[in-house]
Amino acid sequence: MSILKSLFKRKDIRVRFAPSPTGLFHIGSARSTLFNFLFAKTNGGKFILRIEDTDQERSKPEYEKDILESIKWLGLNWDEFYRQSERLKLYAGYIKKLLLNGSAFYCFHSKEFLENEYEEQIKTKKNPAHHCEFRKLPIKDVVYRLNKESGIIRFKTPLDFEISFTDLIRGKISFNSDTLGGDFSLAKVESPLKFTPLYNLAVVIDDYEMKISHVIRGEEHISNTPKQILIQRELNLTTPEYAHLPLILAPDRSKLSKRHGAASVMEYREMGYLPETLVNFLALLGWNPGSEKEIFTLAELIKKFDLGKVQKGGAIFNTEKLDWLNGHYIRSMPIDELTKKIIPFLEKDGLLAGNNFEYIKKVVALEKLRLKKLSEIGERVAYFFKIPEYRPELLVWRDMLFKDIATSLKVSLETISYINETDFNCDNLEKILLKEAERAKNKDRGRLLWPLRMALTGLEKSPGPFEIMEILGKKRTLERIETALKKLNAV
């Protein structure tokens, strides 16, 4: 155990994941959730889920539902749950404190004024910053304007002031207050005494009230940290430990986008990935256990996770590795459990009518070793559930003519017809049909087996014909061969 990890165990660990329900729950959020969960559980602490929904215009119930379902599906259950929209009175009290102690003030600049100011600063190559003239407005003028105008509350950012903190992943980070964009926003003013807190203020208050010990989040939040420390300082609140996770990057080290795999977690579920796979994969995006081991259960990750082994550099999203991991978990899964998970995908493809669980289980067992995603099952095994569609030309093996194919299929039809139902198994079928195949021209087995397999599946790539026939059974096997002969006769 590292010194860093042992120190954590001496404290009451409380961490939080705090998503805004303004979009679907994506991979970056899932990785942050996982690292917070692992850190809490590894150190015997609490994992808190906090929905940051104070932006009522952009927050949607369907997005909150997606967040909750995604986290539950991954198995990252929270210990406490909060919604910011249910805590507005709490924030109002802190806003009043900041106004009374002179750390915050009302700003009455219009949106148009601020946009013009920003554009002018960009045009003159100045760092965009709003140093607000209203910070010195007398209280009587504030009261007068509040009755007539809308406004926001800003933080009175000190000039030329250094803010430093020690990031548990990156070490010491320092900012000069002059780089923070001037007097930043704290809250919207709905009425003279009614406020809606904005991100930086609400985060500070919630982290304090919820006794958050460690804030573990993406590195895009580093620039928010000095603002939050300034607010903590003015309210005389404790500052949690900060750890900023590396970005998740595309293989070319560009920002991860949809085409690289930045899909929502529920999309990965729909694509046929297992929750065990995503947890394992996400854990290795920016964290290294210090060994070559790549397969981890959630329980193993809880035992092994060490925040001190999180890397600073960006983590590469490798879809090939994700598929490899998913294939591993599919192969490791008991066949009954795997079949239950695959059935919804077969239903979606309209392939289950009239087939019982045992039949489906045999189909799944045949393809289990080849699957990378559960969603692949339909395209691979459709022929087990309906007579396949294919062009007669696909029945042709090498230089064979259609008449040769017809002869070959008739041999298979006649041979299989004489096999008893009780003997209709893979080993027996292989033994009998290979004898017939040896009689083919130049002892080319393909002359018998290729047309037969194509008649059964309609696919150029599939498992061997003997395993397929055992699952299909004698009746369905003969029907497939007869259908192939009819295709040839129709040419």
pLDDT in tens, 276-307: 999 999 999 999 998 889 999 999 999 999 99
Which is more confidently placed, 379 or 2? 379
Give residue 260's pLDDT. Answer: 64
Q: Is 258 annotated as a binding residue?
A: yes
Using pLDDT thresholds of 50, 70 and 90, give the confidence band for residue 463.
Answer: very high
Q: What are the structural domains, with CATH classification, of the chain?
A: 3-85+247-319 (3.40.50.620), 87-203 (3.90.800.10), 335-382 (1.10.8.70), 392-489 (1.10.10.350)
| Whether pLDDT at 124 is above 70 | yes
Mean pLDDT along residues 150-176: 96
Residue 147: pLDDT band with limits 50, 70, 90: confident
Which residue among the candidates 258, 312, 348, 435 is catalytic per the annotation?
Answer: 258
pLDDT greater than 50 at residue 10: no
Is residue 195 pLDDT above 90, yes or no?
no
pLDDT, the chain, mean: 93
pLDDT of residue 11: 62
pLDDT in tens, 237-278: 999 999 999 999 988 888 887 666 668 999 999 999 999 999
For residue 5, is pLDDT > 60? no
Arithmetic mean of pLDDT, 92-115: 94
pLDDT > 70: percent of the chain: 97
More confident residue, 8 or 54: 54
Query: Is 258 known to be catalytic?
Result: yes
pLDDT at 6: 47
pLDDT of residue 191: 77
Using the predicted structure, report yes or no on whether residue 9 has a pLDDT greater than 60: no
- Top-confidence residue, 145 or 217: 217
Confidence band of 3 (pLDDT split at 50, 70, 90): very low
| Whether pLDDT at 2 is above 60 | no
pLDDT in tens, 364-397: 999 999 999 999 999 999 999 999 999 999 999 9
d(CA 223, CA 230): 12
Mean pLDDT of all residues in 195-202 = 94
Could you tell me what percent of the chain has a pLDDT over 90?
85
Work out the average pLDDT over 194-219: 96
